[in-house]
């Protein structure tokens, strides 16, 4: 069966919500890694840890997922304009 326009738009919105959730969870998961006391214990100071592994904002995987999420949301909006 075919989707109605409302069902299609609802599905697109849901896809956007799911992608946002994934992006948020990636960030929170990596943030937890950076805040892990056992990981921090391997460094003499937070400055040394930051110098060695960077910050959560500089994490390449987090950035990649955030960029992909931004692109996905743009694509969803473009698709919605076509209908």
Domain boundaries, the chain: 5-82
Per-residue pLDDT of the chain (83 residues; tens, 9 = 90+): 799 999 999 999 999 999 999 999 999 999 998 899 988 899 999 899 999 989 999 999 999 999 999 999 999 999 999 87
Among 80, 56, 81, 65, smallest CA distance to 8 is for 80
Structure confidence at residue 39 (pLDDT): 86
Chain centroid, CA 1 distance in Å: 33
- pTM, full prediction: 0.82
Q: How far apart are CA 73 and CA 45, in angstroms?
A: 39
Q: How far apart are CA 74 and CA 31, in angstroms?
A: 26
Q: Are 65 and 23 in contact (CB under 8 A)?
A: yes
């Amino acid at each position: 069966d075919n989707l109605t326009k409302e069902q299609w738009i609802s599905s697109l919105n849901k896809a956007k919500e799911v992608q946002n959730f994934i992006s948020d969870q990636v960030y929170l998961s990596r943030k937890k890694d950076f805040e892990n006391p056992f990981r921090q214990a391997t460094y003499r100071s937070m400055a040394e840890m930051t110098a060695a592994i960077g910050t959560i904002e500089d994490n390449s995987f987090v950035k990649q997922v955030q960029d992909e999420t931004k692109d996905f949301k743009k694509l969803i909006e473009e698709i919605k304009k076509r209908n």
